[in-house]
Amino acid sequence: MSYAGTLWKGPLSLLFVAACGLRSSPDIEPVSDDGASGDDGMREGSCALPYEIPGSNVTVRGKLLQGSDASGWCGQDEGPEDHYRITPSSEVDVTFAFRSDETTFEPVVRVTEDGCGDGQGNVVLCGTEADQRAYHVFLRPGHVYDVAIDSPQGTKKQNYAFDVVYGWPPIDACTFHEQAIEQTPGNVFSWENDLSAGQGHADGRCGGPGRENIFLVRLYYSGYIRAYLETSSDFEPILSLRTNCAGISEVACSSWQDFSEGYTELSHYVELAPDQSIPVEYFLAVDQTGHAGGNYRLTVSFE
């Protein structure tokens, strides 16, 4: 059973049952067999006229009939597509989970910040495994997000249904590295790894659509955590310190754009309350503003 299937049938199902549904217009018909959008793309569900997704949990249902306005780096998306728009009023994590019993093709979900169409905007999510897993993304106010439901070449008149869930994704929506980082006086943690190209699980205020390594950090006393990240030339590094998988749980982040190509660092003071249970768990993500991957070296120290 797919992750997407278990997501909507699980504890969140009460939210989905209560939500109203959206549907692409059943009156849209393809103007030709080759998937041409017609009218210069001015159709409902196109980049120019996307359907609106409200700012509350909802189930979206539709049928792909025509049009191919855009594609993404992850591929498998040369077939018909529908476009939706989300305009968040505050910072929020949003999860997209396809219903496997109502989706009749292998969907691609693509989210673009402030743009739609090839070469426009910033692609913050490009997922080709949407029929196997739920994808979540961190959205920011002051931006408009295009949500494309795309398909492989040759797809015709296929149905889809997906749940849109606002709020923190569960902790197991992220994949964590097996190596934990322990806070001890004078301890220096060092780790090297290679990340392959592809879509990751976590992002935050500094971005982070690409694959990442997320390390559990166990803290035993108040103090500074300092992290230094060096990467290969194609790896555009980000460091993110958070208390959960959710982007909204991020307490600090840094990007190579604030330092130099292939390098970033992060310094954050964590104040532990006297009555807190010890250890306190944080998570440190080695992430990237792109999706190319590459080699990195992480160094972490405590004061």
φ/ψ bin of 255: left (φ > 0), alpha (ψ from -120 to 50), beta (otherwise): beta
Indicate whether 231 and 245 sit together in one domain. Answer: yes
Q: Given this model, what pLDDT does residue 68 score?
A: 85
Give yes or no: residues 238 and 281 share one domain. Answer: yes
Contact present, 111 and 164 (Cβ < 8 Å): no
Could you give the number of structural domains in the chain?
A: 2
Using one digit for the tens of pLDDT, what is the confidence trace for 10-21? 233 323 333 344
Block means of pLDDT (10 residues each) for the chain, 303 residues, are: 29 34 39 40 86 96 87 89 97 98 96 90 94 96 97 93 97 95 93 95 95 97 97 94 97 96 97 94 97 96 95
The answer on 206 and 132 residing in a single domain is no
Among 25, 20, 15, residue whose Cα is nearest residue 64:
25
Of the three residues 135, 167, 199, the one that is the final residue of a domain is 167
> 59 has which bridge partners?
21, 163
CA distance 82 to 67: 8
Same domain, 160 and 197: no
> Whole-prediction pTM value?
0.85
In a shared domain, residues 107 and 182: no
- Three-state secondary structure call for residue 18: helix
Q: Are residues 108 and 245 in the same domain?
A: no
Within 10 A of 97 (CB to CB), how many other CB atoms are there? Answer: 29
134 and 23 together in one domain: yes
Query: Does residue 101 share a domain with residue 30?
Result: yes
Same domain, 176 and 291: yes
CB 148 within 8 A of CB 68: no
Is the Cβ–Cβ distance between 70 and 118 less than 8 Å? yes
**143, 32: one domain:** yes
Q: CA–CA separation, 77 vs 89, rounded Å?
A: 30
Cα separation, 199 vs 211, whole angstroms: 5
pLDDT for 41 equals: 56
Residue 159 shares a structural domain with residue 223: no
Q: Give the strand order in the sheet containing 122-127.
A: 51-52, 82-86, 145-150, 108-113, 122-127
d(CA 93, CA 138) in angstroms, rounded, equals: 4
**H or E element that contains 287:** strand 280-288
From residue 293, alpha-carbon distances to 64, 186, 208, 234 in Å are 33, 31, 11, 7
Domain boundary among 144, 167, 190: 167
Domain stops at, among 167, 198, 233: 167
Give the list of residues 6+ apart from residue 173 with CB closer than 8 angstroms, or none. 95, 134, 136, 201, 245
- Which residue segment(s) compose the domain that 278 sits in? 172-302
Q: Please report, for the domain that includes residue 270, its CATH number.
A: 2.60.120.380
Same domain, 14 and 158: yes
